[in-house]
Structure 1
Amino acid sequence: MSAYRTIVVGTDGSSTSLAAVDRAAAVAADSAAELLIVCAYTPASRESTAGAEDALKDEAYLVVGWTPAEETLRTAEDRAVAAGASKVRTLAADGPPVDVLRNAVRESGADLLVVGNKGLNTLSGRLLGSVPSDVARRSGVDVLIVHTTS
């Protein structure tokens, strides 16, 4: 029996979050576990995307609705497969990252959550909380915090 059956990893498309995806994919490959890559998003208002749509013309779909999250997930999935993960799913969900990750863990029955350490060692992270520290306290499963920042 493998150490983990289902692994959830969060990404926002940043280089640090993609480093966490790489590590989660390696763990998933070693454990023959399913990898669920999650991207939290907040839909942009019509007013905030109107200017970008005018400038982008035929490529306006890049800033409207789920598209930015979906593109982030496609990139992350490609990296996960390249890192050896064979069972990969993706999920874009509206909401704050901590809530979206906790819901994904619960709904998928995950037994490991992987996040990057970005925000852990900042003053605002210590005072206000950060995604890695909040999920580590509140997820209810093993949490792997990947060192993704210097």
Structure 2
Amino acid sequence: MVAYQTVVVGTDGSKSSFGAVDRAAAVASATNALLVIACAYYPTSKDDVERAQDVLGDEAYQVVGSAPAEDTLQTARDRAVQQGATRIETVPVRGEPVKSLLDVVQQHSADLLVVGNRGLNTLAGRILGSVPSEVARKSSVDVLIAHTT
């Protein structure tokens, strides 16, 4: 088996996505691969983020501007280092998660994409689609769906 050279993982700041970062970092560490941590976002004003937090509560991590994306990426990087990853790149990507992750995979010539399983077994995920199922269906490289929920 050929070792992975470049591993991409997506994070949105949720506990589940940080679990995926941990798993991707462990794989990258074991194979001395480059770990690329991506965070997709849409620019949002501070006022919009605060209003969303009032309404969404625990789900508010999904509403971020560019600064929170940078904070999320720094937290993910710190976690990856704790898992032993040494070659790490972080990438904030403006746009929706599935397309953003697939673009990062292509831009970095990655050979593994790691995502958490959040939303995979929910009714909304089955009806509307979930990030893990969509990237697994559309990816041209291996996909590891880490059990994070």
CA gap of 1:113–1:46, structure 2 versus 1, over 3 A, is: same
Given the superposition, is the C-alpha separation of residues 127 and 4 from structure 1 closer, same or farther in structure 2, using an over 3 Å criterion?
Answer: same
**2:117 alignment counterpart:** 117
Amino acid aligned to 2:27: V
**What letter corresponds to residue 91 of structure 2 in structure 1?**
L
Alignment pair present for 1:88 and 2:110: no
Q: Distance in 2 between matches of 1:64 and 1:36?
A: 20
How far has the Cα of 1:103 moved from its partner? Answer: 0.2
2:58 corresponding residue in structure 1? none
Q: Is residue 136–residue 143 contact of structure 2 (8 Å, CA) maintained in 1?
A: yes
Q: What is the CA distance between 1:110 and its match in structure 2?
A: 0.2
* 2:24 matched residue in structure 1: 24
Residue 57 of structure 1 is matched in structure 2 by: none
Q: How does 1:41-120 map to 2 (within 5 A)?
A: 41-45=41-45, 48=48, 65-120=65-120
Distance apart, 1:50 and its partner CA: 8.7
Change (3 A) 1:2 1:119: same
Contact 1:98 1:131 in 2 (8 A): yes
CA positional deviation for 1:48? 2.6
> In structure 1, what residue type is equivalent to 2:19?
A
Deviations 1:6-56 (A, max 9, x none): 00000011110000000000000001100000000011157636989xxxx
Cα RMSD after superposing both structures: 2.1
Answer yes or no: is the 8 Å Cα contact 1:70–1:92 preserved in 2: yes
Distance 1:122 1:27 in 2: 27
Given that 2:113 and 2:141 are in contact with CA atoms closer than 8 Å, whether structure 1 keeps it comes out as yes
* TM, length-normalised to structure 2: 0.87
Letter of the structure 2 residue corresponding to residue 77 of structure 1: R
On the 8 A contact 2:11/2:38 being kept in 1, the answer is yes
* Stretches (4+) displaced over 3 A: 49-52
